[in-house]
Amino acid sequence: MNHSLIDAWRSDFPILQSRIHDRTLVYLDNAATTQKPSAVIQAINDYYSTTNANVHRGVYSLGQQATDLFENTREAVRKFIGATSTSEIIFTKSATESINLVASSYGEVHFSAGDEIILTMMEHHANIIPWQEISKKKGCTIKVVPIQQDGTLDIEAYKNLFTSKTKFVSMVWVSNAIGVENPISDFIRIAHDHNVPILIDASQRIQHANIDVQKEDCDFLVFSGHKVYGPSGTGILYGKEHLLEYLPPYQSGGDMIKKVTFEKTTFADLPSKFEAGTPNIEGFIGLGAALQYLQSIGLDEIAKHESMLMNFAIEALRSLDFISILGYNGTNVSAISFVMDTVHPHDIASILDKKGICVRAGHHCAHPLMQFYKVPSTTRISFAMYSTVDEIEVCIKELKEIYTLFS
Ligand code: PMP
C-alpha cells in the first residue's frame, strides 16, 4: 500500500498525533470505537458556532437550517447502505438501542408463547439480552446457531433450527470478539425460505466495506455511528418500510405525533414515529460528515488496506509459538483475538498501555463465545483505515518482551 496515501489519511485524524506515557499513540482498539477525522470535529464545531437550533420545530430560518443539516444525514445514510427511502432510516442513540427497538416493537406485535428466536453463538450481548427480555415477556424460546473451533458458524445446524414456531433471526455480520465475517447472504436466504425476517448487526462491518441492504435483502440492519468514524450517541436502524410501518413506537413524546388529545394520540409517519424527543442533532450532523469523508476516500480502498494489515498481523502472530489465535477462518475483518501462554490479557493490555499502545482485554461483551472457547477473556487488536504495519510491528515487539518478562 502507498505509504503517502496512508500518511495523508492519518493526517485527517488529529488524535493520532497524541503521545501516551511519552510514546506515540498506537491505537489498536478500533472495534471498540474509531477515532474521528477533522471533518467530523469541524462539522460539530460549525453546527454549534453557526446553526444551533432545535430541529423539526422552528419556522425561523436557523431552525430550518439545523433541520436541513440533520436530515441531510438521513439521506447520506440511505445512500451509504443502499436503502430505498429515508423512511427506512431511523435515528437511535446506538446499535444497542436499535436492536432493543426491534426486539421490543416487533416482538410486541408478532411474538406469542412458544415462538422461537434464532441467534448465534458469537453475538454481542447487545444482540442477546433484548431478545431474552422480550422472550421473558412473551414466553418465547431462544435457539442458538453453534460455532466451530475456527469461528465458522454451522450453517447446516442453522437450517435444522427452523420450525413452524420460528419467528425471527438476529445475527452479527462481523464478530467484534474474533473478527469472523459470516456469510450473511446465505443466512438471509435460508431465513427467507422459511418466511422468517432477519436482523443483521452490522456494527463491525459498516466501517470496513460497502454495504447494500437491498442486494443482501436485509429486513433490519443496525450499526453505531461511533464505530464508523462518527460521534458517540448516534445509531442507525434500517428496516424495510412495510415492516416498520406496522410496528408500534418504542418510545413516545414530542416530535413523533400527528395529533394528541388526553383521550388519544395518532403517531407521525416513518421515520418520526420512532424518534421521540430532541435528537442528538450535532451527533447526526457529525455522522453525515463521517460518511461523506469515507465516501471521498472509498471503502474499497479502505478494505484493501485493512486486508493487507490483517494478513500481515496474522502471519506475525502465528510465528509466535506462545500466542494462540481464537476464531480465525480466513474471513476475519480487522480484529484478531488471542491468548498468550501464562500471561493474563489484562496484564498484557496494562503493559502495552505503558508503551502507548491501546488494545482491548476482556470478554468483549460476548460471554457465550468466551464460554465456548473456555477462556474468561482474550486480548484483541483491531484495525482501522489509519492503522499501519509499523504499529502492528511495534505491538508485536512489545508482546515478545512481555512474554520474556513473564516467563
Ligand atoms: N454489536 C456489535 C457486534 C458490537 O461490536 C457492538 C459494540 N461493541 C454492539 C453491537 C453495541 O454497540 P453500541 O455499544 O455502540 O450500542
All domains in the chain, ordered by first residue: 3-28+298-402 (3.90.1150.10), 42-295 (3.40.640.10)
Does pTM top 0.95 for this prediction? yes
User: Is the bond preceding 376 in cis, omega lying within 30 degrees of 0?
Assistant: no
Is 276 a pocket residue for ligand 1 (Cβ < 6 Å)?
no
Amino acid at 34: T
Render pLDDT for 307-322 as a digit per residue (tens, 0 to 9): 999 999 999 999 999 9
Quick: pLDDT tens for 217-273. Answer: 999 999 999 999 999 999 999 999 999 999 999 999 999 999 999 999 999 999 999
Question: In the predicted model, what is the mean pLDDT of residues 187-205?
Answer: 98
Closest CA to 360 of 75, 50, 32, 135: 32
Residue 366 has pLDDT above 90, yes or no: yes
Residue of the CA atom closest to atom 14 of ligand 1: 96
Q: Which of 120, 176, 236 to mutate to test the pocket of ligand 1 (most atoms within 8 A of CB)?
A: 176
Angle between helix axes 38-46 and 281-297 (nearest 10 degrees) is 150
**Cross-strand pairs, 222:** 201, 237
Q: Is the pLDDT assigned to residue 41 strictly greater than 70?
A: yes
pLDDT at 77 > cutoff 80: yes
- Residues assigned a catalytic role: 365
Tell me, using a 6 A CB cutoff, whether residue 334 lines ligand 1.
no
Please compute the mean of the pLDDT values over residues 208-222 and round it to a whole number. 98
| Nearest CA among 318, 383, 267 for reference residue 6 | 383
Distance CA 41, CA 375 (A): 39
- The yes-or-no verdict on residue 81 having pLDDT over 80 is yes
- In which band, very low, low, confident or very high, does the pLDDT at 88 lie, cut at 50, 70 and 90? very high
| Mean pLDDT in residue range 136-156 | 98
Using the mean position of ligand 1's atoms as its centre, give its distance from the Cα of residue 29 in Å: 13
Nearest-10 crossing angle of helices 61-81, 281-297: 40
Nearest to 80 by CA among 233, 238, 220, 190: 238
Question: 34 CB under 6 A from ligand 1?
Answer: no
Mean pLDDT of the chain, nearest integer: 97
Pocket test for ligand 1, best of 203, 220, 287, 367 (most atoms within 8 A of CB): 203
Q: Which atom of ligand 1 is nearest to the CA of 174?
A: 3
203 Cα to the center of ligand 1, angstroms: 6
Tell me, using a 6 A CB cutoff, whether residue 387 lines ligand 1. Answer: no
- 164 CA → ligand 1 middle, Å: 31
- Bridge partners of 235, per DSSP, are 92, 224
Confidence of residue 1 (pLDDT cuts 50, 70, 90): low
Nearest-atom number in ligand 1 for the CA of 227 is 15
Q: Is the pLDDT of residue 112 over 80?
A: yes
pLDDT band at 57 (very low <50, low <70, confident <90, very high): confident
Residue 301 cell numbers, joined:
480502498
Determine which residue's CA is closest to atom 5 belonging to ligand 1. 176
Residues 381, 312: Cα–Cα separation, whole Å = 13
User: In this predicted structure, which of 51-60, 171-180, 392-401 has the lowest mean pLDDT?
Assistant: 51-60
Our answer on whether the CB atom of 204 is closer than 6 Å to any ligand 1 atom is yes
Does any ligand 1 atom lie closer than 6 A to the CB of residue 95?
Answer: yes
The answer to whether the CB of 124 is under 6 A from ligand 1 is: yes
For atom 8 of ligand 1, which residue has the closest CA? Answer: 32
Give residue 2's pLDDT band: very low, low, confident or very high (50, 70, 90).
confident
**Could you identify the atom of ligand 1 that is nearest to the CA of residue 123?**
3
Task: Confirm if 203 and 65 have CB atoms less than 8 A apart.
Answer: no
Q: What is the dihedral of CA 84, 87, 93, 98, to 10 degrees?
A: -70
Ligand 1 binding pocket includes 337 (Cβ within 6 Å): no
| pLDDT recorded at residue 58 | 78
- The residue whose C-alpha atom lies closest to atom 6 belonging to ligand 1 is 203
Distance from Cα 118 to the centre of ligand 1, integer Å: 19
Q: 96 CB under 6 A from ligand 1?
A: yes
